[in-house]
């Protein structure tokens, strides 16, 4: 039954009564009365949408069953007793205060109990350990947040459920039966998680079973880490087996440069056992030179092609070292060393193989000729026309403009392409040997011996093409016989008794001014006119600079193949420098510049920059160069040694013979400089 209540007095007592009654469903406050409109009870009533008034009779009706008088005024109390209806019950302020106080104490007690429970729950939820509590019947009474996360259970759903139904693998029911504690037991939850759990019974002082609880940790990650560790051990064993079975000599150090691992190939080359390396500093195996491992650890960049001597036998090796970086952190470095003597043998073998391949397969077509420029395109068109005729061709142009390549292309485009192309450098013969080499020789016939016959270059080229390079250097006597071959299509061997018919296409080339040579009397005029029927003038590189980018890329691709490099090309600034230079040495000079730049580039670089190029203004005076014979016979190692020797000589000369200054200029130690002076047999007189 609902009781209508009128509260008179809106002070502290009134506030207490309003708070008490508003929480009870069986009471309805019809109004709050106080002469002070600013009284706290008036404000509270307005917040609760309860009518307020200064006079109690304005609100009081017969429907009001209870009046709470909390004014404390005795005269007003008598007025109420005289004026109120007989069915209205009056409750004085003393009783109201007492009820309010009791209610307040009850609220405080409830709040304390709630706070205690909340604090306990906070503590249980703050731990990373899961916790589940059951009553004596095995019904779940508490699950903390960590347990929810690990098991996948929900407190709102599973509290009140049998633990065996919620977690099929739970063993808490056994604890209720045995009353024994189980510590650090391994358990796999239905969701696949691995936990380590401790189960404890809850027993009262009079030995009554109150329930049990379990506290557990999630060890799934630990189990997985243990499995990964086992896998890592297997991988480590596999890698160690691979390294030890490798024929490459390998050494590994940690981030401090301390030796971690060497393989048998390393011990074989250096002469050092693993006990002499592992646990020792990176300098332990070096006889002469500086540790590349330490250099790589300091720079975090790979270093390749460093020469040094290692071990007690002073074995000369080439070292390549790379850093070991894991997740951005330097963990050490791994080095591979190569025996220089083995490299030399392999290089020589490779050089021989390349010579054989070139001698068997070397052919050049017009497609191999770079002709982007208009002037060079015209040359190619003239050469294509010349290839279709049997007439002699005279190639004119400065040294290094590509006359031999054009001669190859003319031969390959002609109907003689399936026969030999014989190249002859006319300046390489002595005056007495030119005729014999070109036209052959027959020896005297002795009793009991067969006649000795040596075929000349023209006979070797029979049916094909002979390329007479630098024709102006041919002695006059040989020029006379050459003219007869061109006119009569036959030749006479030196000492021969009869002519030999010959069918050969002649392509001559000259960097000299043949007209001036005729004026001097060193070149036959009639031979000139015989050869000059189809002249082709090759332009110097400075007049065909449009070809430089394509020529440069072609050379870089070729050098990559020869030297085992992987340079992709030339950047914009470097190409600008190449385009601005006049190239007095023409295409040959361009190739030499690019070869030298690529040799000295870092192995990890893929683009040639302007800093990699030598000084183009002084290139022609630089003493680092190779003759044609050296170029074809020397391998990469020999070329590098030749260049290194020349650089050392120039540095010492520039420093006036001061070895310390020269070492500083070369950025090497003085000890290393003296080692190289001894290695290359550079005497004092050579550098003074």
- pLDDT tens digits for range 619-659: 444 445 555 555 555 667 777 788 888 888 877 877 777 88
Question: Average pLDDT of 458-485?
Answer: 91
- Kindly indicate the confidence band of residue 467, based on its pLDDT and cuts at 50, 70 and 90: very high
Compute the distance between CA of residue 24 and CA of residue 55 in angstroms, rounded to an integer.
26
> Which 3-state string (H, E, C) describes 389-448?
CCCCEEEECCCCCCHHHHHHHHHHHCCCCCCCEEEEEHHHCCCCCHHHHHHCEECCCCCC
Length of the chain: 688
Q: How far apart are CA 501 and CA 210, in angstroms?
A: 126
At 613, is the pLDDT very low, low, confident or very high (cuts 50, 70, 90)? Answer: confident
Please list the alpha-helical segments (H only) found in 201-339: 220-245, 264-270, 292-299
Work out the pLDDT band at 447, boundaries 50, 70, 90: very low
- Write phi, then psi, for 203 (nearest 5 degrees): -125, 135
Bridge partners, residue 485, by sequence: none
Asked whether the predicted pLDDT for residue 538 surpasses 90, the reply is yes
- 68-90 pLDDT per residue, tens: 888 878 788 888 888 888 788 88
Q: What is the pLDDT of residue 596?
A: 84
Taking 90 as the threshold, does the pLDDT of residue 444 lie above it?
Answer: no
- Count of CB atoms situated within 10 Å of the CB of 173: 15
- The highest-confidence range among 105-109, 126-130, 236-240, by mean pLDDT, is 126-130
pLDDT band at 168 (very low <50, low <70, confident <90, very high): confident
Please give the structure tokens belonging to residue 37: 């409109």
Is the pLDDT confidence value at 449 over 80? no
Confidence (pLDDT) at 408 = 92
What's the sign of the alpha-carbon dihedral 255, 256, 257, 258? negative
Question: Closest Cα partner for 129 from 141, 112, 146, 117?
Answer: 146
Tell me the pLDDT band of 688, cut-offs 50, 70 and 90.
Answer: very low
* Residue scoring higher pLDDT (394 or 230): 394
pLDDT per residue as tens digits for the range 264-273: 888 888 888 8
For 48, the token pair is: 């609760």
> Are 209 and 226 spatial neighbours (Cβ–Cβ below 8 Å)?
no
Residue 250 zone, left/alpha/beta (φ > 0; ψ -120 to 50; rest)? beta
Rounded to 5 degrees, what are φ and ψ at 654?
-65, -25
d(CA 456, CA 433) in angstroms, rounded, equals 11
For residue 549, pLDDT over 90 is answered with: yes
d(C-alpha 331, C-alpha 315), whole Å: 28
What pLDDT score was predicted for residue 396? 93
Question: Is residue 393's pLDDT more than 90?
Answer: yes
Measured CA to CA, the distance from residue 30 to residue 61 in angstroms comes to 10
Weakest-pLDDT range from 4-13, 228-237, 336-345 = 228-237
DSSP code for 266 = H
For range 9-33, the mean pLDDT: 83
Average pLDDT of the residues of the chain: 82
Helices (H) and strands (E) in the chain, counts: 27, 27
Convert the pLDDT of each residue in 243-266 to its tens digit: 777 777 888 888 888 888 888 888
Q: Tens digit of pLDDT for each residue in 173-230?
A: 998 988 898 888 888 888 888 888 889 998 888 888 889 988 888 877 666 666 555 5
∠ CA 415-362-550 to the nearest 5 degrees?
Answer: 100
Determine the pLDDT at residue 662: 82
Q: Which pLDDT does position 571 carry in this prediction? A: 92
- 687 has a pLDDT exceeding 50: no
Instruction: Compute the C-alpha angle 208/214/220, nearest 5°.
Output: 170
Least confident of 86-90, 233-237, 239-243, 437-441: 233-237
DSSP state of 540: P
Are 593 and 616 in contact by the 8 Å Cβ rule? The answer is yes
Which own/partner pairs from 442-449 qualify as long-range (CB within 8 Å, at least 24 positions apart)?
442/493, 442/494, 442/495, 442/496, 442/497, 443/495, 444/495
pLDDT of residue 675: 81
Using an 8 Å Cβ cutoff, are 655 and 268 in contact? Answer: no
Per-residue pLDDT at 75? 81
Strands 500-501 and 329-339: unpaired
Q: State the average pLDDT over residues 31-47.
A: 88
- Cβ neighbours for 244, distance < 8 A, ≥ 6 positions apart: 263, 264
Question: Which strands form 421-425's sheet, in the order they lie side by side?
Answer: 421-425, 465-469, 505-510, 393-396, 535-537
Q: What is the DSSP letter of 278?
A: B
Answer yes or no: pTM beyond 0.85: no
pLDDT in the model for residue 184: 84
Query: Quick one: what percent of the chain has pLDDT higher than 90?
Result: 17
Query: Looking at residue 289, what is its pLDDT?
Result: 79
Confidence category of residue 99, pLDDT binned at 50, 70, 90: low
**What residues does 124 pair with on adjacent strands?**
none
**Mean pLDDT within 578-587:** 89
pLDDT band at residue 686 using 50, 70 and 90 as cut-offs: very low
pLDDT at 153: 85
Question: How many whole angstroms separate alpha carbon 588 and alpha carbon 220?
Answer: 69
Q: Higher pLDDT residue, 655 or 5?
A: 5
Decide which of 266 and 384 is more confident. 384
- pLDDT score of 314: 81
Reply yes or no on whether the pLDDT at 110 is more than 90.
no
């Amino acid at each position: 039954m609902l009781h209508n209540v009128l509260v008179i007095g809106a002070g502290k007592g009134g506030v207490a009564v309003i708070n008490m009654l508003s929480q009870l469903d069986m009471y309805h406050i019809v109004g709050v009365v106080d002469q002070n409109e600013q009284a706290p009870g008036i404000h509270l009533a307005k917040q609760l949408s309860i009518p307020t008034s200064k006079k109690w009779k304005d609100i009081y009706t017969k429907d009001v069953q209870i009046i709470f008088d909390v004014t404390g005024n005795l005269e007003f109390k008598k007025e109420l007793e005289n004026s109120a209806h007989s069915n209205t019950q009056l409750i004085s302020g003393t009783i109201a205060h007492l009820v309010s106080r009791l209610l307040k104490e009850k609220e405080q007690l409830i709040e304390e109990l709630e706070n205690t429970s909340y604090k306990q729950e906070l503590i249980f939820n703050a731990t990373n350990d899961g916790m589940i509590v059951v009553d004596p019947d095995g019904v779940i009474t508490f699950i903390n947040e960590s347990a929810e996360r690990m098991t996948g259970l929900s407190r709102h759903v599973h509290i009140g459920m049998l633990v065996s139904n919620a977690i099929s693998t739970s063993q808490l029911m056994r604890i209720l039966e045995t009353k024994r504690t189980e510590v650090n037991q391994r358990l796999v939850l239905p969701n696949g998680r691995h936990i380590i759990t401790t189960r404890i019974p809850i027993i009262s002082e009079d030995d009554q079973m109150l329930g049990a609880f379990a506290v557990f940790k999630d060890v799934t990650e630990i189990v997985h880490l243990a499995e990964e560790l086992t896998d890592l051990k297997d991988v480590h064993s596999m890698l160690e087996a691979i390294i030890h079975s490798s024929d490459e000599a390998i050494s590994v150090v940690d981030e401090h440069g301390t030796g971690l691992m060497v393989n048998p190939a390393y011990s074989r080359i250096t002469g050092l056992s693993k006990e002499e390396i592992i646990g020792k500093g990176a300098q332990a195996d070096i006889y002469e030179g500086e540790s590349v491992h330490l250099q790589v650890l300091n720079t975090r960049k790979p270093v390749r092609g460093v020469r040094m001597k290692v071990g007690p036998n002073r074995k000369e090796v080439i070292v390549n070292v790379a850093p070991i970086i894991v997740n951005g952190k330097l963990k050490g470095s791994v080095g591979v060393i190569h025996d220089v003597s083995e490299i030399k043998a392999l290089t020589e073998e490779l050089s021989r193989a390349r010579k054989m391949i070139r001698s068997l397969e070397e052919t050049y077509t017009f497609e191999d000729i770079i002709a982007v420029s208009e002037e060079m395109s015209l040359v190619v068109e003239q050469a294509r026309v010349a290839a279709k005729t049997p007439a002699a061709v005279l190639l004119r142009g400065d040294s290094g403009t590509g006359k031999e390549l054009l001669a190859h292309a003319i031969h390959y485009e002609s109907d003689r392409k399936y026969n030999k192309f014989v190249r002859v450098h006319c300046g390489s013969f002595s005056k007495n040997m030119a005729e014999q080499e070109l036209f052959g020789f027959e020896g005297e016939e002795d009793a009991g011996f067969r006649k000795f016959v040596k075929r000349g270059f023209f006979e070797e080229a029979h049916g094909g093409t002979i390329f007479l390079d630098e024709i102006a250097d041919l002695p006059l006597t040989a020029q006379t016989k050459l003219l007869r071959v061109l006119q009569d299509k036959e030749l006479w061997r030196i000492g021969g008794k009869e002519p030999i018919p010959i069918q050969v296409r002649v392509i001559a080339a000259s960097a000299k001014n043949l007209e001036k040579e005729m004026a001097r009397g060193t070149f036959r005029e009639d031979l000139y006119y015989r050869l000059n029927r189809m002249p082709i003038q090759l332009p110097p590189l400075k007049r065909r600079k449009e070809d430089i980018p394509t020529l440069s890329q072609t050379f870089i691709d070729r050098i990559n193949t020869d030297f085992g490099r992987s340079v992709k090309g030339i950047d914009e600034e470097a190409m600008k420098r190449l385009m601005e230079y006049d190239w007095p040495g023409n295409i040959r000079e361009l190739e030499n510049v690019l070869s030298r730049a690529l040799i000295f580039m870092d192995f990890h670089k893929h683009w040639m920059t302007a800093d990699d190029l030598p000084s183009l203004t002084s290139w022609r005076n630089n003493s680092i160069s190779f003759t044609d014979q050296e170029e074809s016979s020397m391998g990469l190692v020999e070329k590098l040694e030749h260049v290194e020797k020349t650089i050392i000589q120039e540095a010492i000369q520039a420093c006036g013979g001061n070895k310390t200054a020269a070492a500083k200029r070369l950025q090497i130690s003085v000890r290393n400089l003296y080692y190289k002076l001894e290695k290359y047999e550079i005497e004092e007189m050579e550098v003074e």
